[in-house]
Amino acid sequence: MLDQLLSWYQEPMLLKFPVYTMLLSVGAFLLLALPWTLLAWFDPPWARPYKAQDKPFEVRRYIGKNLRLIAGNSTLVLLIFLAAWPVVRLFGIHDGPRPPWYEFVWQITLFFILDDFLYYWMHRKMHENKWLLKNVHSVHHQVRNPSAIAGNYFHWIELLFTAGLVLVGPILLSSHIEVVYVWLFLRQWQAVDGHTGYQFRWNPLSWLPFYHGAKFHDLHHETYKGNYAGFFPIWDRVFGTETRPGRNV
């Protein structure tokens, strides 16, 4: 039994899946968040008309704790995935021949839709469940006027839940590991963009159908309710939880 366990931890996919995915996820987030966070830090006059909230950014106050949370939470979640490797290795994610480009496209499109639907319900339940709201999700809401770096300002349990939802699509489709890498990069881009605190018209994500950008999620931080979806406001419209300026659910 011990020999079998050791052989599992010598598999190449141990590095390619739990380790590299976490490193890529954290690295991509920090790289994408850096310019937006610096913009919020200096808050130049030319950018202020595009701010989602007409309030000073709080980034100087929380950035130290934010970086500690990212480092500590990511390490803890990685250790949990490593401890669960005998089960995680059975998820079907593989490193076989690279799939054609169109497989990347349709799978990642499906991941966005599925993840956003699941995230909507997880996020909503974190607000509706008093224990989760008080002990877990309230950490994220310590930031009322977010900048990009706050996209990963989480309690470790919330990060674990979020990471688990991100992997549901790849597990269901037994995706190639490179599809997972691209998906994680795009998912972190979304997490950054939803917390930038700015609504620029030239933002390429604003061209996507149904996407409302940082202002949509900023209202959630400002009002502490509604707008639970991460990417597609349509879920909040369908389930009656959309918050708009001057209107609370």
Domain range annotation of the chain: 11-238
Average pLDDT, the chain: 91
The reported pLDDT for the residue numbered 4 is 81
Of the candidates 152, 145, 191, 192, the residue with the CA atom closest to the CA atom of residue 43: 145
List Cβ neighbours of 160 (8 Å cut-off, separation of 6 or more): 77, 80
179 in Cβ contact with 170 (< 8 Å) = yes
Query: 19: which 2 tokens?
Result: 């380790």
- Cα-based distances in Å from 50 to 10, 221, 248: 51, 17, 22
Nearest to 195 by CA among 139, 242, 152: 152
Neighbours of 68 (CB within 10 A): 10
Per-residue pLDDT reduced to its tens digit, 192-241: 998 999 988 877 776 666 667 778 888 888 888 889 988 788 899 899 99
Q: pTM above the 0.85 mark? A: yes
Spatial contact of 169 and 119, defined as CB atoms under 8 Å apart: no
The per-residue pLDDT for range 41-98, each reduced to its tens digit, is 999 999 999 998 888 899 999 999 999 999 999 999 999 999 999 999 999 999 999 9
Judged by DSSP in three states, 200 sits in: coil
